[in-house]
Amino acid sequence: MKKQLTILFLFINLTLQATNYYVKTGGSDVANGLTDATAWATTSRVNTKWGDGTIIAGDNIYFRRGDTFTGYLTAGSSGNASNRITVGAYGSGANPIISGFTTVSGWTSQANGIYRKVVSAASASGNTTATPKMVTVNGVNTPMGKWPKTGYYNIDSHSGLTQITAGELSGQNWIGGNVYVRCRMSLLWGSTISGHSGSTITFGGVENIEDGSSFFVNNHLSALTLLGEWAYQSGTLYMYFGAANPDNYTVKIASLETGVNLSGRSYITIEDLTIEGFNNGTWTSGNSSYLTIDNCDIRLIGSHGIRFGNYTDNGGGGGNHNTITNNTVTDCNNLGIETAFWIEFTDATVTGNTVQDIGTFPGMGGNMYQSYMGIRCWSDNTLVQYNRVLNVGYHGISFYGNYSHVRNNYIDEFCMTKNDGGGIYMVYQNADLLTDATIEDNIVLNGGWIDPASYLPYGGGGSPGIYLDDRTAGILIDGNFIYNCYGDGIALHGTMDITVTNNISVGNGLDPYHAAQIKAYRDFAGEPAMDDLTLTGNQFISLNESDAANSQVIPYTMIFQAEGGASEIQGAIASIGNNYYAMPFFPNSENLVRVWNGSWGVVANWYNLAEWKSYIGGDASSNGYLATAVDTIIDVHVIYNDTTVAKTWTLSATLYDVANDDYSTSVTLQPWEGMVLFGEGTVTPEGGTEPEPPEPPTLGSGYIKNGGKFIRLGGKMIVL
């Protein structure tokens, strides 16, 4: 008993010894930091005291709300399971700001409306940045100047991976700038231009070049022609103001590399802070576990908002049980949240975050496939739940790892910069097969489209709502609602042991290169054959307005293709039934399902519902014939509940669903449910007005973006 009391006393004593330290604008770094009256003044003082052993396990560091602190934080020690170290806020008002920005003033005129200012990286040992990746004008993330201003120029010819020729380059001189080549629809790669002769430029090299691909140039003074466009060369910032007075604009440049560095540390909580103006908001590598980042506003970051990872091919050392929750991560030029680079970190929890405006500027993200993404969780045993991912350049959520779960997320506008990506994306390639991962009850909307003219070798891919790629296996896709994606609603590429149940995929598949509400295909002969596919209880609803016989470009309800032909397709389906395959404008369509019994080049077959059932030798319980055809898109009502409470819509008339069941007066959807209703009338949410009706998925001139939302022109989505 005496020994037990001694241990208890020691535990209580250690807890009581926890110390609070305070930091505020107007404080003093020679004070003791123990009260508001004796608060420290700078992050530098915090780093010193954390590094010299003054700040220990159980201690708390509080920054005063409403204050801004220029500098960075480096964790000098870890907490432990009983006594975490917490960095947070005190007082009232807005979160305290940890800022890596330098405000630029004292401009010198260069020529032709361009001004310059020498901006050296801030003096911070081990934390300087040689190449700033974030510049703001009046608080707005502003990209480097780009040539051409919109879109790309096509490559006429190339030599190796270091030289391209294009007619538009003639009469120019782009030496010293950066060329970005669209190596693939999913990869932009930049390199510094070292030579320019006639219509040919030479540069350091990129991952891949194909004739008919495309390029643009940035980070060069000749590309600066619009207010706020900038370049950074040899320690000097150049910006175009035209006839405007630079003194009328607040220009800031990120001059520090990392806002909060937790590398090699564990049992630390970062909460209630605003972190802005760095190349990376938070950074963690090495053996780091049980870290929590909670309720922070991480914004205006040049690369990653939150970054866990050892960037080697085999991962290297990592950590486990890190939690990222309830944060807002916005305006990051490369990636919002990353829990691991290559499964070196495990057991991550990413919940309740809003991730918005990530990787939306071509050429401002990284030279790798793993860039321009909202959330990237390549770690085993990961939970990604209740996040909102809005307006991102590539994948909305990319995950990779055994026993991981992606649930109850809302994803709207993705693949705005790169293509052949998904709202939710998984790839396994040559690794061991994945087991027991789930994609459940997510809402995925508005997958973007990059004009194939920027990559003439384009063979499809688009922007599927849910995209399982190359050897992915052992996945449950259940209860998701997928709407208005340019690519397929659900794409299964070279997959095995996939269960697709109770999903609604509607109005997807605008890509003219073989797109549908669901597509299962294997177009690489070297991949294992498709196997063990379950399709039950789904609604696959195409909103095509044309239905010519043997149509090549309509969005089908389903597409199947396999190198092994009909026997592979028929043998791959382990269970199928109770699905609805619907084309509301053409209830008796002969183009309901399209099948390639071999490679894409062979002649395809088009099937109505009865023919499909005969071909597959089953699916008897599935249906698709609406009792009444829909005449206009106004009579298609797409609703979904992206909240955590039940939501009710009022109906002005009796409407019906794909099962021909009638609804009158009102409908109520539980959290993360969606529904498609048909008929004349209005559907009004409680306390609101009926949303704009969906546009028909016809092919035309494309979308453009206006004020952060899409305007559909003829049904196509084009990102300029």
Tens of pLDDT, residue by residue over 625-683, are 888 888 888 999 999 999 999 999 999 999 999 999 999 999 999 999 999 999 999 99
- At 3 the pLDDT is 46
Residue 614 lies in a domain: no
In a shared domain, residues 121 and 239: yes
Select from 233, 198, 231 the least CA-distant residue to 217: 231
DSSP 8-state secondary structure symbol assigned to residue 398: E
Cα separation, 517 vs 536, in Å, equals: 14
- At 425 the pLDDT is 96
Beta bridge partners of 256: 128, 278
* 467: confidence class by pLDDT, cuts 50, 70, 90: very high
Cα separation, 642 vs 671, in Å, equals: 6
CA atoms within 13 A on the CB side of 103: 8
Amino acid found at 557: T
In a shared domain, residues 177 and 111: no
In a shared domain, residues 218 and 271: no
User: How is residue 596 written in tokens?
Assistant: 């390639």
Structural domain harbouring 278: 62-100+256-393
- At 707 the pLDDT is 31
Share above pLDDT 70 across residues of the chain, in percent, rounded to a whole number: 88
In a shared domain, residues 232 and 215: no
Average pLDDT of the segment spanning 173-193:
94
Q: How many helices (H) and strands (E) does the chain have?
A: 4, 66
Residue 286 lies in a domain: yes
Average pLDDT of the segment spanning 455-475:
83
Residue 192 lies in a domain: yes
**Residue pair 694/424 in contact by the 8 Å Cβ criterion:** no
- At 621 the pLDDT is 97
**Which stretches does DSSP call E strand in 368-442?**
373-377, 383-385, 388-392, 397-399, 405-407, 410-414, 424-427, 437-440
In residues, how long is the chain?
720
**Residue pair 301/333 in contact by the 8 Å Cβ criterion:** yes
Average pLDDT of the segment spanning 224-239:
95
Max Cα–Cα distance, the chain, nearest Å: 89
Q: What is the pLDDT of residues 547-578, one digit of tens each?
A: 777 677 788 999 999 999 999 999 999 999 99
- At 344 the pLDDT is 79
- At 342 the pLDDT is 75
**Residue pair 76/235 in contact by the 8 Å Cβ criterion:** no
- At 311 the pLDDT is 59
- At 132 the pLDDT is 84
Mean pLDDT of the chain: 88
Cα separation, 667 vs 676, in Å, equals: 11
- At 697 the pLDDT is 35
Share above pLDDT 90 across residues of the chain, in percent, rounded to a whole number: 72
Residue 96 lies in a domain: yes
User: How is residue 255 written in tokens?
Assistant: 């001059």
In a shared domain, residues 289 and 332: yes
Q: Which of 393, 410, 430 is the last residue of a domain?
A: 393
Q: What is the end-to-end Cα distance of the chain in Å, rounded? A: 74
Q: How many domains does the chain have?
A: 3
Provide the CATH number for the domain around residue 198: 2.40.10
In a shared domain, residues 172 and 276: no
- Dihedral sign from CA coordinates of 149, 150, 154, 155: positive
Q: Which of 330, 359, 393 is the last residue of a domain?
A: 393
> 637 phi and psi, to 5 degrees?
-120, 110
Select from 72, 47, 62, 63 the least CA-distant residue to 96: 63
Amino acid found at 642: D
**Residue pair 577/543 in contact by the 8 Å Cβ criterion:** no
Cα separation, 130 vs 3, in Å, equals: 57
Residue 88 lies in a domain: yes
In a shared domain, residues 233 and 106: yes
Report helix, strand or coil for 439. Answer: strand
A 10 A CB-CB count for 118 gives 11
Q: What is the pLDDT of residues 687-715, one digit of tens each?
A: 655 555 444 333 222 223 323 333 332 33
Q: Which of 354, 371, 393 is the last residue of a domain?
A: 393
Instruction: Of 14-23, 212-221, 316-325, 589-598, give the lowest mean pLDDT range.
Output: 14-23
- At 460 the pLDDT is 59
- At 602 the pLDDT is 80
In a shared domain, residues 105 and 248: yes
Cα separation, 513 vs 30, in Å, equals: 67
In a shared domain, residues 284 and 201: no
**Residue pair 356/379 in contact by the 8 Å Cβ criterion:** no
* 511: confidence class by pLDDT, cuts 50, 70, 90: confident
Cα separation, 315 vs 345, in Å, equals: 8
Report helix, strand or coil for 611. Answer: helix
Q: What is the pLDDT of residues 111-159, one digit of tens each?
A: 999 999 998 754 334 444 467 889 999 999 999 999 999 989 999 999 9
Select from 479, 478, 370, 388 the least CA-distant residue to 425: 370
User: How is residue 267 written in tokens?
Assistant: 């049992």
Residue 593 lies in a domain: no
Q: How would you classify the pairing of strands 274-276 and 297-301?
A: parallel
In a shared domain, residues 312 and 358: yes
Select from 351, 235, 370, 386 the least CA-distant residue to 304: 370
Select from 123, 147, 119 the least CA-distant residue to 134: 119
Distance, C-alpha 91 to centroid of its chain? 35
- At 343 the pLDDT is 74
Q: What is the pLDDT of residues 369-421, one digit of tens each?
A: 889 999 999 888 999 999 999 999 999 999 988 899 999 999 999 999 999 99
- At 631 the pLDDT is 87
Q: What is the pLDDT of residues 49-65, one digit of tens each?
A: 999 999 999 999 999 99
* 349: confidence class by pLDDT, cuts 50, 70, 90: very high
| Alpha helices (runs of H) in 219-338, residue ranges in sequence order | none
**Residue pair 341/311 in contact by the 8 Å Cβ criterion:** yes
In a shared domain, residues 206 and 66: no
In a shared domain, residues 153 and 87: no
Average pLDDT of the segment spanning 274-284:
90
Residue 55 lies in a domain: no
- At 461 the pLDDT is 63
CA atoms within 13 A on the CB side of 622: 29
Cα separation, 268 vs 127, in Å, equals: 20
Residue 42 lies in a domain: no
A 10 A CB-CB count for 201 gives 25
DSSP 616-662: HT--TT-B---SS---SGGGEEEEE--SSS-EEEEESS-EE-TT--E
- At 317 the pLDDT is 66
